[in-house]
Every structure is written in structure tokens, then in C-alpha cells.
Amino acid sequence: MKLYSYWRSTTSYRVRAALNLKGVPYDTIPVDLVAGDQRRDDYAALNPGKGVPTLVLNNGTVLTQSMAILDYIDATWPEPALLPKDALRRARVLAAAHTVALDIHPINNLRLIGQLRSRFGATAEQTTDWMCYWMAQGFAAVETMVDPQSTFAFDESPDLADLCIVAQVYNARRWGLDLEPFPNVLRIETNALAVPAIAAAHPDQQPDAKVTT
Amino acid sequence: MKLYSYWRSTTSYRVRAALNLKGVPYDTIPVDLVAGDQRRDDYAALNPGKGVPTLVLNNGTVLTQSMAILDYIDATWPEPALLPKDALRRARVLAAAHTVALDIHPINNLRLIGQLRSRFGATAEQTTDWMCYWMAQGFAAVETMVDPQSTFAFDESPDLADLCIVAQVYNARRWGLDLEPFPNVLRIETNALAVPAIAAAHPDQQPDAKVTT
């Protein structure tokens, strides 16, 4: 299997962590979002949304959209499960995961920030403020949704919400968000990064990681 | 069951359509997003993301995040199914649904537009251009993802992708997006609105609908 991925992409990070947790081998094909590789014709033919990640199965089948890919991974390699079987518990995990995946990430990603710059002349300071605002709003909601007594977001093993949260916290640290108001989020990050399969999915461990300031 | 909903909210529209398709009765509790009702303390206590919809089950259990609510509804009232059982077909439907639910809606909703206005002084024309830009990008991707031969997005009965698409097209028409480049999207809208359960979920059919220009 091939995973088209960008080291700093939080959606790629989620999928890498899931594949690692389930012990599914894959080759990473870097897509340099900053250089615009995602808009090249050959890549856009694979991924019409022109984003990462894209998962290409061994038979050539192409999957896009990280949360749909994660659903496929969880159905195909069920252990360890990323979602509970009970419909209500599953809805709670999904709601926390979606608070990151829908209410934070799409508003803060590279293509959106590019439009803020080109349409409104947003400065570096304004784009950082923008990203931190949405992360703070989303994490405040996540704080009230997760179980404060568990090792991870809802349980003693990591689930889909944990993968979304730990990846978003990487981004939050990158942009300097004060995480002190979010103790549950911080606990989830610490415990998730103590899992070798998740730590191996961290951006800095990827083949396309660059040394940056 | 109570569904906290706003008539024009496309995420509320998706959930109303799913409940109607499955014949599940519910009472609509309007939340006026324009008046800011979603930020009132009593509502924010129910929905920490301060958005709609919120589904409150008969036993008082509260569910938030439209895509998580839809997952719960589909698991609890399985017929007619909103997602295929096969993991790969399911991933394709989810990918198209998520192209609307993640790549269009979160970037175009009321709270985001409010931030464009307050942070960047966005004019009415600029916010309309913004919304139409993201809808055109997303619909262009959806066009290549759905099955052009089916009545609905992927099959002969409506699924999760259809519900996301028909609700988003309502929004596209509201803001004047030229839909001619998206024949599959238009076909899905026509066939979805011909289903009485979906037509009954349309914004104009809701108790809080207002006559507007």
C-alpha cells in the first residue's frame, strides 16, 4: 500500500497512526503541499480534492478523505478497534473526533490560509491569530466531550478521537497556542505519544520532514 | 426525540432528511443562529460546539455533530441504510459526503463568515465570493467521485452523500453559485428532492422558516 502524505499534515498524521496501530505496512509517498505538488495533474487525478492523504491499496484502488480512509482501515483491519461497537459510545467518540476534523482542521489548513492571504491580505500575525482562535474554540468543546478519568479520550486504548486530537495538538504547538486551558487535551497528547505506533506517525519521524526553526 | 435545528442550516437539513427517510418521529426545536441563540448558556450546555443540530433522545441523552448523529441514526434505525455494508463502497460514499461536510461546509458557515467580517472587514460581495469559491471547488471534486449512471450519488436509493449534497445545493442556490458545471450534483438534487422524506426536510418546510427575498 502507498500513502501519499505530507509530514506536517494533521490528516496524514491521523492515518499514519491508524495504520501503525493496526500493524499495516505502507510506503510513504511525500506530497509537498508547500511546493504545490497536490495541484499537479498526476496527483489531482488520484485525489480530486487536491489534498492529502491518499491511500492506494495494493490492487490500485484509490481512497481519499482522511476520515473515510480511517473508516475503511478500521473496517478492514478491525484490531485494535478505533471506534466502539455500541452506537451511542461510537457517536460520542465520533463527535469529539469531528470537533477536530470538521470544526478546526478545514478552517486552518494551508489552502484556506492561502485564501485569507490572497483575498484579504492577511498578515502572518493575522493568520496565526486565526488558527489559534479556531483551535481554542474547538479544544474548549473537546474538553467537555471527553472522559476526564480515562487514559485516552474515552477509554484505556487510543481511538479515533485520540488520533485526531494528538495530530491537532502538533499543529497547536507549531503555532504557539496556549494549551494550559485544555488539561484533557494535554493528557491525551502525552498518553498518545507514549504509544510507539502513534509516536512513529509524528511529523518529525517522516521521510519528508525538514529541519525548521 | 428533540432535534435542535435551524431551518437554513445544511447540517440540520441532513439530519432531518435522515430521520424522515427512516420514519423516526421528532420534534423540531428551532435555534435562531442569526439571533445568536446557539451561544446562550442553556444551549451551549447541551452543545459545547455551539452549533446545530443537537439531537436529544427520549431518555435525555444528548448527541452533537451532524455526521456523528447521522452515524448513530443509521446504526439505530438501519433501514433504509445510509451507507453500504461493503467497506470499500462505504469509503467511497463517505469520501463524497466528507467532501461536502469537511471541505465545503465548515469553511462557509455563519460563524466563519462572521470572523471574516470582524477580522478582515469582508464585504457582502467578498463573503459571497468566498462561499461560492469553496462550493465550486468542492462540487468539482464531488463530480468526479460519484457514479454518473446512478439515480442518486452511488445507487438507486439515497445515501449519506446524497443528503450532504442536496443540503449543500440549497446553500449554493441561496448564494447564486452557477451550478451548470456540476451536472451530477444537479441530477442528485433533482432526484433527492423528488423523495418526499427529503423534500419534507427542506429549509422552507421548517417551522422556523422565514419569508425572505
What stretch of H or E contains B27?
A: strand B27-30
* CB spacing of B68 vs A91 below 8 angstroms: yes
**Per-residue pLDDT at B98 exceeds 60:** yes
Q: How confident is the model at residue B211 (pLDDT cuts 50, 70, 90)?
A: confident
Has residue B208 been placed in a domain?
Answer: no
* CB spacing of A115 vs B133 below 8 angstroms: yes
Contact criterion met (CB below 8 Å) for B27 and B20: no
* Whether A72 and A130 share a structural domain: no
Last residue of a domain, one of B62, B80, B98: B80
Last residue of a domain, one of A57, A80, A103: A80
For B102, the grid coordinates are 469537511
Has residue B213 been placed in a domain?
Answer: no
State the CATH number of the domain containing residue A28.
3.40.30.10
pLDDT at B212: 65
Question: How far, in whole angstroms, is CA A173 from its chain's centroid?
Answer: 14
Q: What residues of A are in contact with residue B51 (Cβ under 8 Å)?
A: 103
**What percent of chain A shows pLDDT beyond 90?**
98
* Whether B134 and B52 share a structural domain: no
Last residue of a domain, one of B80, B103, B133: B80
Query: Can you tell me the distance from the alpha carbon of A144 to that of B80, in angstroms, rounded to the nearest whole number?
Result: 33
Has residue A67 been placed in a domain?
Answer: yes
* Whether B56 and B96 share a structural domain: no
Q: What residues of B are in contact with residue A153 (Cβ under 8 Å)?
A: none
**Per-residue pLDDT at B213 exceeds 60:** no
Has residue A209 been placed in a domain?
Answer: no
Has residue A210 been placed in a domain?
Answer: no
Q: pLDDT tens digits, residue range B161-203?
A: 999 999 999 999 999 999 999 999 999 999 999 999 999 999 9
* Whether B71 and B94 share a structural domain: no
- Which residue in chain A is spatially nearest to B118 when comparing CA positions? A130
Has residue A203 been placed in a domain?
Answer: no
Q: pLDDT tens digits, residue range B14-58?
A: 999 999 999 999 999 999 999 999 999 999 999 999 999 999 999
* CB spacing of B98 vs A65 below 8 angstroms: yes
Let me know how long chain B is.
Answer: 213
Contact criterion met (CB below 8 Å) for A203 and A173: no
For B69, the grid coordinates are 448523529
Q: pLDDT tens digits, residue range A95-150?
A: 999 999 999 999 999 999 999 999 999 999 999 999 999 999 999 999 999 999 99
* Whether A93 and A57 share a structural domain: no
Cα angle B71, B82, B31 (rounded to 5 degrees) comes to: 55
* CB spacing of B120 vs A115 below 8 angstroms: no
**Per-residue pLDDT at A94 exceeds 70:** yes
Number of domains in chain B: 2
Cell numbers 450546555: residue? B45
* Whether B42 and B60 share a structural domain: yes
Q: Kindly indicate whether the ipTM for this predicted assembly is greater than 0.90, answering yes or no.
A: yes
Residue B4's nearest CA partner among B30, B33, B22 is: B30
Indicate which of A85, A94, A123, A139 best probes the interface with B, i.e. most B CBs within 10 Å of its own CB.
A94
Size of interface A-B (CB pairs under 8 A): 118
CA distance B65 to chain A (A): 5
Cα angle A66, A16, A154 (rounded to 5 degrees) comes to: 80
Q: pLDDT tens digits, residue range A12-64?
A: 999 999 999 999 999 999 999 999 999 999 999 999 999 999 999 999 999 99
* CB spacing of B72 vs A51 below 8 angstroms: no
* CB spacing of B91 vs A106 below 8 angstroms: no
Q: What are phi and psi for residue B80, nearest 5 degrees?
A: -75, 145
* Whether B96 and B66 share a structural domain: no
Residue B121 φ/ψ region, left for φ over 0, alpha for ψ in the -120 to 50 degree band, beta for the rest: left
- In sequence order, the 6+-apart residues with CB closer than 8 A to the CB of A213 are none
What amino acid occupies position B10? T
CA distance B204 to chain A (A): 26
Q: What residues of A are in contact with residue B159 (Cβ under 8 Å)?
A: none
**DSSP assignments along B102-146, one per residue:** TTTHHHHSHHHHHHHHHHH---HHHHHHHHHHHHHHHHHHHHHHS
pLDDT at A211: 74
* CB spacing of B65 vs A119 below 8 angstroms: no
- Which residue in chain A is spatially nearest to B117 when comparing CA positions? A120
Query: Can you tell me the distance from the alpha carbon of A6 to that of A34, in angstroms, rounded to the nearest whole number?
Result: 9
Q: How confident is the model at residue B6 (pLDDT cuts 50, 70, 90)?
A: very high
Cα angle B205, B125, A108 (rounded to 5 degrees) comes to: 85
* Whether A101 and A65 share a structural domain: no
Sign of CA dihedral B135, A32, A194, A134: negative
* Whether B178 and B91 share a structural domain: yes
DSSP annotation of B56: E
Has residue B34 been placed in a domain?
Answer: yes
Q: pLDDT tens digits, residue range A180-194?
A: 999 999 999 999 999
As a whole number of Å, the end-to-end CA separation of chain A is 33
**Per-residue pLDDT at B138 exceeds 70:** yes
* Whether A106 and A153 share a structural domain: yes
* CB spacing of A90 vs B75 below 8 angstroms: yes
Residues facing A62 on adjacent strands: A56
* Whether A164 and A184 share a structural domain: yes
Give me the mean pLDDT over the A142-162 stretch: 98
* Whether B178 and B113 share a structural domain: yes
Contact criterion met (CB below 8 Å) for A185 and A147: no
- Which residue in chain B is spatially nearest to A146 when comparing CA positions? B48
For A71, the grid coordinates are 473508516
Range of the domain at A55: 2-80
CA distance A199 to chain B (A): 26
Query: Can you tell me the distance from the alpha carbon of B17 to that of B70, in angstroms, rounded to the nearest whole number?
Result: 10
Q: What residues of A are in contact with residue B130 (Cβ under 8 Å)?
A: 115, 119
Mean pLDDT over all residues of chain B?
97
Cis geometry, peptide bond prior to residue A80 (ω within 30 degrees of 0): yes
Has residue B102 been placed in a domain?
Answer: yes
* CB spacing of B72 vs A63 below 8 angstroms: no
Residue B47's nearest CA partner among B76, B17, B4, B79 is: B4
State the CATH number of the domain containing residue B153.
1.20.1050.10
